[in-house]
């Protein structure tokens, strides 16, 4: 599983002219699932996203999590995180999970974050989405459950 996490002042996703999800100060999370991912991968990504200390404390040090600052999350499923461009110029998405599996894990990710008391906005799975955000910092972190030490 992969997640691209951006610290944002605000973010929103629009589908067919309608805002389907948004967040104020918090995290924009692009979420991708690979073939073979398990509940262990999901737990790793959820724990990391919620616990990432990428918000500044009173001394200006990145020391606070999204929960610590009362932030929100906008979660968008994105299979293109598994685009493989090593051969040729057109990405292959063979390593991305099948849509039914990916959507199930995406929904579980959203619910796990909500269970931690966080407000979570969402995109629409498999829809063409327009995503707008104001990245604060900029701060962008890439998480990959296969990169566990």
Catalytic residue numbers read 78-80
Cα separation, 87 vs 126, whole angstroms: 25
Comparing C-alpha atoms, which of 17, 117, 25 is closest to residue 74?
25
- Block residue for tokens 């991968």: 41
CB 21, CB 73: distance < 8 Å: no
* Helices 39-51 and 99-115, packing angle to 10 deg: 40
Give CA–CA dist 85/91, Å, rounded.
5
């Amino acid at each position: 599983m992969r997640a691209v996490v951006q610290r944002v002042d605000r973010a929103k996703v629009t589908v067919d002219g309608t805002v389907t999800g948004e967040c104020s100060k918090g995290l924009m999370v692009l979420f991708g699932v690979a073939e073979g991912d398990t509940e262990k991968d999901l737990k790793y990504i959820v724990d990391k996203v919620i616990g990432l200390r990428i918000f500044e404390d009173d001394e200006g040090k990145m020391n606070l999590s999204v929960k610590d600052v009362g932030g929100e999350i906008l979660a968008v499923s994105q299979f293109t995180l598994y685009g493989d461009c090593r051969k040729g110029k057109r990405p292959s998405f063979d390593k991305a999970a099948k849509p039914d599996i990916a959507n199930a894990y995406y929904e579980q990710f959203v619910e796990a974050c909500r269970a931690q008391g966080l407000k979570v906005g969402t995109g629409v799975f498999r829809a063409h989405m327009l995503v707008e955000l104001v990245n604060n910092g900029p701060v962008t972190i890439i998480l990959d459950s296969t990169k566990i030490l």
